[in-house]
A and B are shown apart, each in its own frame.
Chain A
Amino acid sequence: DAGVIQSPRHEVTEMGQEVTLRCKPISGHDYLFWYRQTMMRGLELLIYFNNNVPIDDSGMPEDRFSAKMPNASFSTLKIQPSEPRDSAVYFCASRGRDSGNTEAFFGQGTRLTVV
């Protein structure tokens, strides 16, 4: 397996524009997590899914953020409208269902810059 795949790797957009980040988890993994990382706040959990269903979205900062998982192999994180303070690295991670197999595998991240 190629691991967790995120796209794009880098995104530069103007304030007010819509941004969509994409993630393909490892095949067979039941859990998918979206994180945001900044120097100030570290790695923050935004939302996570189990079997394509959102379980906890309490970390989503505002209504401008939304996430979907239409099937087991694809998830999106959308920001509309984007603001400069959304600039960060966004990571997607997945992990398996097995209770003994709890490690999370991370993608390479998407570095978002909103100008």
Chain B
Amino acid sequence: SQKIEQNSEALNIQEGKTATLTCNYTNYSPAYLQWYRQDPGRGPVFLLLIRENEKEKRKERLKVTFDTTLKQSLFHITASQPADSATYLCALLNAGNMLTFGGGTRLMVKP
């Protein structure tokens, strides 16, 4: 069966450090992989997408890698700040335009 797995345990890091979140998937052939941020009581907000033929994408302090052989994406936040504390969700978009989400990982950045 198709699965998108993210670490369900919260990630606690110190301000200024790099946060690294992992997304693994099985039985998918995604055209795109996306990352979203969700704050309590709000809907997810899009951050970045990476295409199947791309290895890495950057946007300001964010970096995403995509390894279709390992079926894994890593999401990095450099120079993390307390304001980065949120739940981060990865999502796969397949050729049929179905957008499916992982369970999310909660990030806590402590000052």
Give Cα A45 to B80, complex, Å.
Answer: 31
Q: Is the interface of B mostly helix, strand, loop or mixed?
A: strand
Q: Does B10 contact A (CB under 8 A)?
A: no
Interface size on B, residues (CB 8 A): 20
The one of B32, B97, B101 in contact with A42, judged by C-beta atoms closer than 8 angstroms, is: B101
The one of A45, A106, A108 in contact with B100, judged by C-beta atoms closer than 8 angstroms, is: A45
Closest residue of chain B to A101 (Cβ to Cβ) is B49
Residues of B within 8 A of A109 (CB): 42-43
Q: Is the interface of A mostly helix, strand, loop or mixed?
A: strand
The one of B32, B34, B44, B97 in contact with A43, judged by C-beta atoms closer than 8 angstroms, is: B44
Contact B103 A42 (CB under 8 A): yes
> If A55-B96, A56-B96 touch, does A91 touch B43 (CB 8 Å cutoff)?
yes
- Chain A contacts with B in 89-114, Cβ cutoff 8 A: 91, 93, 95, 102-109
Q: Does B21 contact A (CB under 8 A)?
A: no
Closest residue of chain B to A104 (Cβ to Cβ) is B99
- A residues sitting closer than 8 Å to B (CB atoms) are 4, 31, 33, 35, 42-43, 45, 48, 50, 55-56, 91, 93, 95, 102-109
Chosen A-B contacts, 18 in total, with CB atoms closer than 8 Å, are A31-B97, A33-B99, A35-B101, A42-B104, A43-B89, A45-B98, A45-B100, A45-B101, A48-B98, A56-B96, A56-B98, A93-B43, A93-B44, A102-B32, A102-B34, A104-B91, A106-B45, A108-B43
New contact pairs (19) apart from A35-B101, A43-B103, A107-B43, CB-CB < 8 Å: A4-B43, A33-B99, A42-B101, A42-B104, A43-B44, A43-B89, A43-B101, A45-B99, A48-B99, A55-B98, A91-B43, A93-B44, A93-B99, A102-B32, A102-B93, A104-B34, A104-B44, A106-B44, A108-B43
